[in-house]
Amino acid sequence: MSVTLDELLRALAAAGPGEDVSPLMDDIEALVAEDPDGSRSAVLSFADDGGVRLWLVGLLADPRDFDVLAAALADPRLRATALEGLMNQPDVDRVDAVARRLLDDADPLIRSRAAGMVAFRAGPGALDVLLPRADDPVAHVRMVLGWYLGGLGDPVAEPTLRGLLADPDDQVRAFAARGLARLNRQGSLP
């Protein structure tokens, strides 16, 4: 007998603190991915945890939910989840515009995720807005930029990546090297 989304959501709501809910989350994600339209009412009525509900709304990838996800960016507890949900939204231009606005956010986690979104969407001018972020004061942001810049496949990123090879942080240097390797694999470098 197969389990319904409603049953999985009730089990998730009943889970105690510290209980491993990752198998439940995996099953929920699979059911929502299989039938986003049919899952919508169960997802929207789930009220146990705002973060989980927002995560579920993100899984739906329904354009009607764009504003719900964008509004959640104002809540410090929900911002990272909202960004993840926005990645699933089909309106690439709107997602890119939101991500670009967050490149200068006060929270380095948000800046690094926004950089990933801009790089993943690779819209016009993505490289132009990402290259200046290589001077971010937080090593983690510079580190992920090393990876993302290489993934864009544009040799214009090479000097910035080479500069990151001299970064004081070893993780930044390692990811800059990986970014350069990605450029080489794509045949972007001579």
List per-block mean pLDDT (blocks of 10 residues) for the chain, which spans 190 residues: 83 86 90 89 80 88 94 93 93 95 95 94 92 96 96 94 97 97 77
Per-residue confidence (pLDDT) for residue 92, from 0 to 100: 92
Give the separation between CA 73 and CA 85, rounded to whole angstroms.
11
Which pLDDT belongs to residue 187? 67
DSSP 8-class letter at 48? S
Select from 11, 1, 87, 17 the least CA-distant residue to 42. Answer: 11
Question: What CA–CA distance (Å, rounded) separates 152 from 110?
Answer: 20
Size of the chain in residues: 190
Does residue 142 contact residue 111 with C-beta atoms inside 8 Å?
A: no
Quote the pLDDT of residue 16: 84
Query: Would you say the pTM of this structure is higher than 0.85?
Result: no
Judge contact between 39 and 60, C-beta under 8 A.
Answer: yes
pLDDT at res. 174 = 97
Q: What is the pLDDT of residue 42?
A: 87
The pLDDT assigned to 147 comes to 94
